Amino acid sequence: MVDTRTGRVGRVTGRRGTRLRLRALNGGRVWECPQDAVRAATEWEQRNADVLDASWRFWRAAGM
């Protein structure tokens, strides 16, 4: 699944009310996302999830 708020790719690991719990495909921290802010990941996104997650972490640290 893709968190459309951030572009992060993750696997659903649980649910808390209307929020989904996601974990990066290559492991890492769990984060929560509203159910209506996720979409199915494309095949390309699934194959490149580790690169996308590393990029997300870099830009988050640099600008947020």
Higher pLDDT, 24 or 40: 40
Please compute the mean of the pLDDT values over residues 25-43 and round it to a whole number.
91
- What gap in Å lies between CA 44 and CA 47, rounded to an integer? 5
- What gap in Å lies between CA 56 and CA 53, rounded to an integer? 5
Higher pLDDT, 22 or 44: 22
At residue 12, φ and ψ (nearest 5 deg) are: -70, 125
- Estimate to the nearest angstrom the gap between the alpha carbon of 35 and the chain centroid: 12
